[in-house]
Each structure stands twice: as structure tokens, then as C-alpha cells.
């Protein structure tokens, strides 16, 4: 099942994001086919202020584990992480 991780950064934590970015990208790339897509949300100043990560996990507990092990989460970057089941209905490359 697919889950969308909607992550909102804590205000004033851009440097935490920048300092942890390489480890975060390595972690996401290490998820292999479980990672469907990901990228940052941008504020009005065009600077990142959150993340959208869509993953394939067996259940919400597995999605929570993936979210909790993200280096951004471990560094305390996020003010909140909302994990929601998601159906990729349009332009899903895996659908036939």
C-alpha cells in the first residue's frame, strides 16, 4: 500500500535541513523500490520548508518506521509528519 508522508519543517530550521540533506538523500535512495517519489515543499521565498515522500509499505506501522528513521526526522527537523494512505490514480507508472 502507498503512503504519503507530509512533513512540515520547524520554523527557523533551514540549516538543519541543509546539514542533513546528504544523509536524507542516501536514506531515501536506500529504500529502493519502496520509494515512489519525493521532494521538498517550498515557501514563498523558494526555500524548502517541508517534504512530500510517497512510499510503499506493508502497513501504517511500516510507513511510520520509515518516517522515523529518516535522518531529517532524527535531526529534529520536522514540526509534524502526517502519514496518510494514498492511491496513485493518475499517471502511475506501475499501473497497466
- Residue 68 domain flag: yes
Place 95 in a pLDDT band, splitting at 50, 70 and 90. Answer: confident
d(CA 34, CA 91): 18
Which triple of cell numbers denotes residue 87? 492511491
Which triple of cell numbers denotes residue 34? 519502496
User: In this model, does residue 96 exceed pLDDT 80?
Assistant: no
pTM over the 0.85 mark: yes
d(CA 61, CA 56): 12
- Average of pLDDT values for 3-31? 98
Q: What CATH number is attached to the domain comprising 40?
A: 3.30.70.1060
Query: What percent of the chain lies above the pLDDT cut of 90?
Result: 95
- Residue 96 domain flag: no
- Residue 93 domain flag: no
d(CA 63, CA 7): 13
For the purposes of burial, counting CB atoms within 10 Å of the CB of 46, is it exposed (0-12), middle (13-18) or buried (19 or more)? Answer: exposed
Amino acid at each position: 500500500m502507498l503512503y504519503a508522508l507530509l512533513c512540515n519543517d520547524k520554523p527557523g530550521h533551514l540549516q538543519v535541513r541543509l546539514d542533513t540533506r546528504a544523509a536524507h538523500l542516501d536514506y531515501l535512495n536506500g529504500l529502493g523500490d519502496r520509494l515512489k517519489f519525493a521532494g521538498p515543499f517550498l515557501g514563498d521565498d523558494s526555500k524548502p520548508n517541508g517534504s512530500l515522500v510517497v512510499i510503499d509499505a506493508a502497513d501504517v506501522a511500516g510507513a511510520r518506521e520509515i518516517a522515523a528513521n529518516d535522518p531529517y526526522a532524527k535531526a529534529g527537523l520536522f514540526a509534524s509528519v502526517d502519514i496518510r494512505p494514498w492511491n496513485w490514480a493518475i499517471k502511475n507508472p506501475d499501473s497497466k
